[in-house]
Amino acid sequence: MGTDLAADLAAAADLLRTATEVTLLAHVSPDADALGSALALGLGLRSRGVGVRVSFGFPADVPRSLRSLDPGGLVVPAAEVPAAPPLLVALDCASEQRLGVLLDRVPATIAAGGRVLVVDHHVANTRFGTDHVVDESAPATVVLVLALLDRLGVELTPQIARCLYAGLITDTGSFRRATPDTHALAGRLLAAGVDPTEVARELMDSRPFAWLRLVSSALSRAQLVPDAVGGRGLVVTVVSLTDLDGMEPEDADSVVDLIRTAEEAEVAAVAKEITPGRWSVSLRAVGDTDVRAVAAALGGGGHRLAAGFPAAGSAEDVLVLIKGAFA
C-alpha cells in the first residue's frame, strides 16, 4: 500500500468517523462488488450509530441474487435519496455517469457544502468527488471498504463479512485473478462467519428454470470470428428482450462466462437488450487483450479483462459494431 493511498484511507476514515448521516450509492445495475461494498460500509457505520441509506439508480429493485446481502433493509429507492445529502459515498463508480439518475446528487451535494467520497478500484476513475480512495491495483472495491472499516474499528460481523466476500469472489472471477493477499483476505472473511458454499450458490449457481431456455437460445446463435483480435478469435452472441421474458436482466449476465470457454476465442462478447433497441455489451478477455480500451472507445469502461459499453440499434447493428471493434 503506497503512502498516498494510506493517507487517503486515513482521511476518508476521519471523514466517516465524524459523520452522523451517510448516503451510500452503488452504480447502476449493481453487481456484488458495488452493492456489497455499499452495504458492508453501511452496516459498519450503522453499528457506530450513524444514520445510513444505500441506493442505486437502476433498476428499481435489488437484483435477485443480491437480496440476501441486505436483510436489514438499508437499501432505499432512488427517489428517497436526498437532493444534497451532507455526506455522499459513491462506491465502485469510475465516473458520476455510472450513478445514472442519481448523478445529479454529486454536484448538488458539493454545491451545498457537503462532501462526496469516492471509493473505487477502476483504473479510469475520473476522481469526481471531493475526497477519494482509489486504488486500481485492488482486486475489488470491497478490499478498500474493509481497509476503511478496520480504520474505523468496526467489528467484522458475519453479515458484513458476507457482503465483502460476495464482492471479492465475483470481481476476482471466483478467485481466478486472485493473489496471495486476496486469499488471505478471503480467509479472514471465512473466519468471520461466511459460508462460502451458500454465497457462491446464491450469486452464481442458482437460476430460474427459464434460464435454461435463455442460455439455449443465446448459445444457439453464438458466432465465432476466428480472424478477429489479431487472429486470436472472437466469440459473440446476443440476448434479446424476448429471451429475457419473465426473467430479470441479471439472468443474462452469466452467458458471457459460458461463451468465453470457447478455446478458439481470446475475447467473448454478449449484447444484452435492455429496452427495445438499447443494449448493454459485456466483454471478457481470457489472455492479454485490453477490452477496457475497446469499451472506453465506445462509451463504456471497466477493467482490462472485463469491461462493457452501451449500444443502440438492431441486434445485427450491434453485432457489426462488436465485430468491427475487434477486427
In angstroms, the CA 280 to CA 28 distance is 12
Cell numbers representing residue 142 in the block: 470491497
Angstrom CA distances, 292 to 106, 122, 283, stand at 25, 10, 8
List the grid coordinates of 172: 476476482
Crossing angle (nearest 10°) for helices 158-171 and 196-204: 50
Ranges of each domain in the chain: 3-204, 209-326
pLDDT digits (tens, 9 = 90+) for 292-314: 999 999 999 888 999 999 999 99
Q: How far is CA 115 from the centre of its chain?
A: 23
Q: Quick: pLDDT tens for 175-233.
A: 988 999 999 999 999 999 999 999 999 999 899 999 999 999 999 999 999 999 999 99
User: What pLDDT score was predicted for residue 249?
Assistant: 85
Pairing of strands 278-285, 267-275: antiparallel
Q: List the grid coordinates of 152.
A: 474505523
Q: Who wins on pLDDT, 205 or 75?
A: 75
CATH of domain 209-326: 3.10.310.30
Is the Cβ–Cβ distance between 281 and 302 less than 8 Å?
no
Q: pLDDT band for position 50 (50/70/90)?
A: very high
Q: Stretch 257-279: mean pLDDT, rounded?
A: 96
Three-state SS annotation for 112-158: CCCEEEEEECCCCCCCCCCEEEECCCCCCHHHHHHHHHHHHCCCCCH
Residue 195, amino acid: D
Radius of gyration of the chain (CA): 19
The three cell numbers of residue 272 are 444484452
Confidence (pLDDT) at 39: 98
Q: What pLDDT does 172 receive?
A: 94
Determine the Cα–Cα distance for residues 208 and 212; give it in Å rounded to an integer.
8
Nearest-angstrom CA–CA distance, 28 and 308: 13
Q: What is the pTM of this model?
A: 0.90
SS3 87: strand
Residue 67 near residue 35, CB atoms below 8 Å: no
Give the total residue count for the chain.
327
Q: Rounded to whole angstroms, what are the CA distances from 281 to 126, 135, 302?
A: 22, 25, 12
Q: What angle do CA 52, 130, 69 make, to 5 degrees?
A: 30
pLDDT band at 111 (very low <50, low <70, confident <90, very high): very high
The answer for 230, left when phi > 0, alpha when psi is -120 to 50, beta otherwise, is left
| pLDDT above 60: residue 3 | no
Is the pLDDT reported for residue 2 higher than 80? no
| Per-chain mean pLDDT for the chain | 95
Domain 3-204, CATH: 3.90.1640.10
Task: Compute the average pLDDT of residues 241-245.
Answer: 93
